[in-house]
Amino acid sequence: MSTRERRERSNESDRFLFSLFNAAVEEIGKSSKALAVAAVGGYGRGELAPGSDLDILILHQGQFSQDRLSEFVNKLLYPLWDIKSVDHSVRTRAETKDAADSDLKVALGLLDIRLVAGDADLVAAVQNDSIESWRKNAGNRMPELKKSLASRHERAGELAYLLEPDVKEARGGLRDINALRAIALSGAANVPLERISWAESKLNDVRETLHQTSKRNKDRLLFQEQDAVARGLDYVDADAMMSDVAQAARSVDYLLEFTWHQLEQRSKDGFGRFLRKPRTDAVAKNLSVSQKEIVINPLTDIASDPMLGLRAAATAAQLGLPISLDSYSLLSRALDEGKALLPNPWPREAREHLISLIGAGEPMVSIFEALDQEEIIFHWLPEWRPLRSLPQRNALHRHTVDRHMVETAVYAASLTRKVHRPDLLLFAALFHDIGKGDAEDHSIRGERLIEPLAARIGFETEDVETIKILVKHHLLLSATATRRDLDDPATIHSILAVIPDLNTLELLHALSIADGEATGSAGWSDWKATLVADLVSRVKRAMTGSTTIAKQPEISPEQLKIAESGVLQVNLEKRENGYSIEIISPDKPGLLSIVAGVLNTSRLDVRSARTKSHGSSAVMKWIVTPELYAPEIKAEVLRHEIEKAFNDVTHIEEKLIARAAAYASVPAIPVPDPIVETFNDAATQATIIEVRSHDRPGLLFRIGAGITQSRIDIKSAIVTTLGAEAIDTLYVTEISGGALSDERADEVAERLRHLLK
């Protein structure tokens, strides 16, 4: 199939209509002046599929009586009705203008008006009226068009992900391409239509072949007809064709979403955009926000900043903003030229940016889709390409393989407070179906494929083993819960045989929930969720000797010797992307909060920390990264600031309040409330307080302040930031020693929840 064949079909209709027009004019004995037949809509564009209607407009200037006009129209149309479906209207130039002003569908059709027969000047005048009115009233027409598209999308669904899509009406289909063409013609936004030329050609070919093979004029690609259409287009099978259909639709939808973003920003800026330079706000290294888009700073040497792309994606997702098309082009060009390539394995910072992107929830979807459409993601994750728009042609799944995994990650992001390793959950969620697209069992194949990928991303060997278990057994809990007797001890032992500890079990439970919810109601229900939760509860009770709490930090003999001196010491080691800071200090109430506050006001982000009291001293090991434009840190300066805060912490609090206010002014995605849990640990005779929260400035300072206000001691602490999530584990005792009572533990937990809201 080709554009040429569709054009020839239109030309044949033109020739037939031309002969009918001349015959009708001759029969009624009138001149063709001020009388014309014009093609509109798809016929006007010369895109007639075999089952397409002939959309025509019969123009006149009121020179006929109603009877004579009806006679002419009938003589023209009767021969057509016998062989072709015709959608026609009869209007004067003025009536046409009024109809276009009141009816969006008419206005859109007239944008493609084309003379078939008769008075060329009349058709040209109507064309000029239509385009001029469309451009003049674009400010009102664009919201009307968007509302119309949203209504149609709701009715027809998403072309890329439907089992039996309508290639014309569904989201990402041919009507959306026409909408983009109309927006471009309005001048309201710059629409690079060349980006979707392949998509338009592909969808038109599929539609045309569907009409030919089905012998009907419907545009819905029914399941039972897909094999025949695929053969007609020389595909190896229907899956390959549906993959191309999905990719075409996603390209159209991507451009449409970007275009609406352009229009919304222009609408908010009004004429002011012509009078003032757009404001830019720095948000991360080499990145700014301008006109509600993340942009790469124009003078950036991308080759010297290989993590820039991931940083941009993570920042955009966490702020709920798009990345500008120009910035995508810069990144894509640099990567294509072999610049800004990530090392193997990835640095920790790169891995954390990826986890922050995945963990952003719903805003991650549009960013990830853009990275796919711009073909940037394949430079970082070449394993993603074979999964791109890979169809799942069964009633259970509602998305392609790649989109299903993205949706699973979205649901997993809402469960990060339920697990102790949210980074492993998010990564496994995004790649749990990596093994699909081959005859081999996808879980077994997935286990094999995920190992080198996880290692390249920079996960430790122990974490890679956990990820392998999650991918291989992501269906285990739901399959066992729904097919086995939970009262049978063998059922529980079958889980214990492959799941080594509580950490892995809680991760697998969360992944099962996310995978099920992303599949939809056909694959997940309250009934199944209850069964899976019951199974997990039984397995937990059967597990002994496992723990979900990190081990307390150890203190080396050298550190012990320094600690016994009772003098504050700060040692700083420069790392590639930050600093390692060892602090040995006289212990005192609020020490953790004070040091965390000093680091934060010094514009250092805490990535991890381990602290432990020893006698009258505390040993702390901090891993930090400097914020954007943060000054270079020196050990003596940090020591001075900590000593100053020992005497008076007020200035630290004031700075943190100011920073929190500034942080609040930056847009960000909504995140779940923090979770605070407490339980007693007989081995250490302490109470464990665990806080899981979205990371933000001053978080650890607030936690430490809450502990100080509760008049309890921190014996040791383990702080970890994983992507955008922070997990803080504190071992605390009463001032007099010993674990907290249940009532006291509940009181402290409630205080922390209040402080962290």
Residue 668: what pLDDT? 75
Closest of 459, 273, 255 to residue 352, by C-alpha: 459
Q: Structural domain of residue 242, as residue ranges?
A: 157-269
3-class secondary structure, 687:
strand
* Residue 322 domain-assigned (yes or no): no
Residue 183: what pLDDT? 96
* Residue 149 domain-assigned (yes or no): no
Determine which of 82-86, 147-151, 463-467, 753-757 has the lowest per-residue pLDDT on average. Answer: 82-86
Is the bond leading into 345 cis (omega within 30 degrees of zero)?
A: yes
* Residue 687 domain-assigned (yes or no): yes
Find out whether 23 and 74 touch, Cβ atoms under 8 Å. no
Domain count of the fold of the chain: 4
Same domain, 367 and 423: yes
Q: What is the SS3 assignment for 625-642?
A: EECCCCCCCCHHHHHHHH
Phi-psi region of 520 (alpha: psi -120 to 50; beta: other; left: phi over 0): left
Same domain, 494 and 637: no
Same domain, 350 and 235: no
Same domain, 530 and 595: no
Same domain, 515 and 575: no
The pLDDT-based confidence of 391 (bands split at 50, 70, 90) is: confident
Report the C-alpha dihedral over residues 419, 424, 426, 427, rounded to 10 degrees: -170
Let me know the angle formed at the C-alpha of 327 by 321 and 333, rounded to the nearest 5 degrees: 145
* Residue 647 domain-assigned (yes or no): yes
Phi-psi region of 292 (alpha: psi -120 to 50; beta: other; left: phi over 0): left
Residues 572-584 have pLDDT tens digits of 998 877 899 999 9
Q: Domain containing 433 — which CATH number?
A: 1.10.3210
Closest of 368, 235, 221, 255 to residue 309, by C-alpha: 368
Residue 551: what pLDDT? 66
* Residue 707 domain-assigned (yes or no): yes
Q: Domain containing 33 — which CATH number?
A: 3.30.460.10
Q: How far is CA 92 from CA 8, 36, 123, 568, in A?
A: 29, 10, 11, 91
Measured in degrees and rounded to the nearest 5, phi and psi for residue 558 equal -65, -40
Q: Which of 216, 238, 269 is the last residue of a domain?
A: 269
Residues 274-283 have pLDDT tens digits of 445 566 788 8
Same domain, 612 and 714: yes
Residue 392: what pLDDT? 78
The pLDDT-based confidence of 397 (bands split at 50, 70, 90) is: low
Same domain, 568 and 464: no
* Residue 303 domain-assigned (yes or no): no
Residues 663-677 have pLDDT tens digits of 666 667 888 889 999
Residue 662: what pLDDT? 65
Residue 288: what pLDDT? 92
Q: Assess whether pLDDT exceeds 90 at residue 374.
A: yes
* Residue 240 domain-assigned (yes or no): yes
* Residue 178 domain-assigned (yes or no): yes
CA 583: distance to chain centroid?
40
Q: Assess whether pLDDT exceeds 90 at residue 143.
A: yes
Average pLDDT over residues 199-221: 92
Average pLDDT over residues 21-38: 83
Q: For the chain, what percent of residues have pLDDT higher than 70?
A: 94
Q: Domain containing 189 — which CATH number?
A: 1.20.120.330
Full-model pTM: 0.84
Residues 538-552 have pLDDT tens digits of 999 998 754 455 667
Same domain, 530 and 569: no
Residue 562: what pLDDT? 75
Q: Which of 269, 296, 330 is the last residue of a domain?
A: 269
Q: Give the integer Cα–Cα distance in Å for 106 and 418.
A: 53
Average pLDDT over residues 514-536: 88
Give the residue with greater pLDDT, 608 vs 464: 464
Give the residue with greater pLDDT, 26 vs 456: 456
Residue 676: what pLDDT? 93
Residue 15: what pLDDT? 93
Find out whether 382 and 427 touch, Cβ atoms under 8 Å. no
Spatial CB neighbours of 382, under 8 Å, sequence gap ≥ 6 = none
Residue 40: what pLDDT? 94
Average pLDDT over residues 686-712: 89
Q: What is the SS3 assignment for 330-353?
A: HHHHHHHCCCCCCCCCCCHHHHHH
Average pLDDT over residues 716-736: 89
Q: Could you tell me the sign of the dihedral formed by the alpha carbons of 275, 330, 400, 165, in that order? A: positive
Q: Which of 242, 269, 296 is the last residue of a domain?
A: 269
Question: For the chain, what is the mean pLDDT?
Answer: 89
Measured in degrees and rounded to the nearest 5, phi and psi for residue 585 equal -140, 150
Which residue carries 């999308």 as its tokens? 153
| Tokens representing residue 621 in the block | 């090991």
Same domain, 382 and 436: yes
Find out whether 608 and 721 touch, Cβ atoms under 8 Å. yes
Q: Give the integer Cα–Cα distance in Å for 119 and 700.
A: 78
Q: Where are the beta strands (DSSP E) in 589-636?
A: 604-614, 617-626
Average pLDDT over residues 225-251: 93
Residue 275: what pLDDT? 42
Same domain, 369 and 505: yes
Most confident of 246-255, 656-665, 691-700: 246-255
Q: How far is CA 390 from CA 238, 355, 435, in A?
A: 11, 24, 12
Q: What is the SS3 assignment for 255-320?
A: HHHHHHHHHHHHHHHCCHHHHCCCCEEEEECCEEEECCEEEECCCCCHHHCCCHHHHHHHHHHHHC
Same domain, 536 and 433: yes
Residue 673: what pLDDT? 87
Q: Give the integer Cα–Cα distance in Å for 428 and 466.
A: 9
Residues 84-136 have pLDDT tens digits of 788 899 999 999 999 999 999 999 999 999 999 999 999 999 999 999 999 99
Q: Assess whether pLDDT exceeds 80 at residue 268.
A: no
Closest of 723, 629, 729 to residue 686, by C-alpha: 729
Q: How far is CA 364 from CA 402, 501, 578, in A?
A: 14, 30, 27
Bridge partner list, 716: 612, 731
Length of the chain: 757
Give the residue with greater pLDDT, 369 vs 397: 369
Q: Are strands 54-60 and 86-92 parallel, antiparallel or unpaired?
A: parallel
DSSP string for residues in 437-475: SSSS-HHHHHHHHHHHHHHHHT--HHHHHHHHHHHHTTT
Instruction: End-to-end CA distance of the chain: give it in Å, rounded.
Output: 60
Residues 406-453 have pLDDT tens digits of 999 999 999 999 999 999 999 999 999 999 988 899 999 999 999 999
Q: Assess whether pLDDT exceeds 50 at residue 272.
A: no
Same domain, 470 and 564: no
Which residue carries 């203008």 as its tokens? 97
